[in-house]
Amino acid sequence: MTRALVIGKFMPLHNGHLALIEFAASHADEVIVSMSYTPHDTIDPLHRFKWINEIFTNRKNILPFLLEDNFDNDLLPLTERTKIWADVMRKVYPKIDVVVSSEAYGEPFAANLQATHLLFDADRKKIPVSASLIREKPFRYWEFIPPVVRPYFVKKICFYGSESTGKSFMAQKLAQVYNTEFVPEVAREIVTSNEFTEADIIKIGYAQIDRINEKIKTANKILLCDTDTITTQIYSQQYLKTVPAILFELEKQVHYDYYFLFDIDVPWVADHLRDLGGEREKMLQVFKAALDQRGIAYKMVQGNYQQREDFIRHEINKILEA
């Protein structure tokens, strides 16, 4: 049996890595994918290892391993540096027959392991990308990021504010414009009036988080969210005069990258849940204060609906081009 070794940080895992691993699998009966990590890595190693396992879960010949990199010395010449690697690998893994890489370390590393070296796409012509490029400009290299990895880079945008300010309309419309997903105000799927209970408001809190976790899997670069857990807290206080403690814990589970606070300078439109038309200014200040208290930055959305759309699109375009 021929055993190949592929090593890397996979920070993040991208299509170049996948092609490298598949190339190794085409030249060996078994491929060990050794993912190294340090305490200082910018992407959580558990995320990275989960991505590898998820992609290769049905490939019994591809074996992912997690290895703490507490032995490398990048000040040494490659021959001496990779000798240290080889000494560690011999202790950790079964005998390696082939080292597969696309980097300069491959040849001396294989020699130190007494293995054959196979070089893959060293000039990056087949897949012109690197992990560092993706970390710097993920949206520019989006097509090189596997679907299971993309949610990590999706920017969550919260449309936030009081009733009848156009948040739901804007989330749905801009999701079509940007070919992405939006998270609706899930409360409207759970309650039919403002006569709800504490159990209802807790259910809403969980459901909103679940919907975000569902939609982010298929979002295209951005995820547009109509309201957040802070909003659920505000309405809990407004109607129940209390906020269940679990809502503050749920708030910590989702970090929004951008907030748009919708002003009240559009006509009030009543419906079966909206009954605070006479308190619009008060509620705007409540919503604004909740962000200010948390130190959350936001962009104010004002004007008629076309002006609001133009402003938000301008800001989103800046996000996508960053």
Task: Output the pLDDT for position 97.
Answer: 98
User: Per-residue pLDDT averaged across 99-124, rounded?
Assistant: 95
Q: What local confidence, expressed as pLDDT, does residue 277 receive?
A: 60
77 pLDDT band, cuts 50/70/90, is very high
Q: How many whole angstroms separate alpha carbon 102 and alpha carbon 122?
A: 4
Counting Cβ atoms within 10 Å, is residue 38 exposed (0-12), middle (13-18) or buried (19+)?
exposed
Decide: 142 and 180 in contact? Cβ < 8 Å.
no
Q: What is the mean pLDDT of residues 53-72?
A: 97
Residue type, 89: M
Per-residue pLDDT tens for 247-279?
A: 999 999 999 999 999 999 998 877 666 666 668
Would 3-144 and 154-321 be classified into the same CATH topology?
Answer: yes
Which numeric CATH code is attached to 154-321?
3.40.50.300
Say what the pTM is: 0.93
Q: Can you tell me the mean pLDDT for 98-121?
A: 97
- Give percent of the chain with pLDDT exceeding 70: 97
pLDDT at position 217 is 97
Residue with tokens 């008629």: 304
CATH topology for 3-144 is Rossmann fold (3.40.50)
Residue 279 has a pLDDT of: 83
Query: How many Å apart are CA 86 and CA 103, to the nearest integer?
Result: 16
Domain boundary assignment for the chain? 3-144, 154-321
| Position 193 confidence tier, pLDDT thresholds 50, 70, 90 | confident
User: What residues have CB less than 8 Å from 198, skipping those under 6 apart?
Assistant: 236, 240, 242, 244
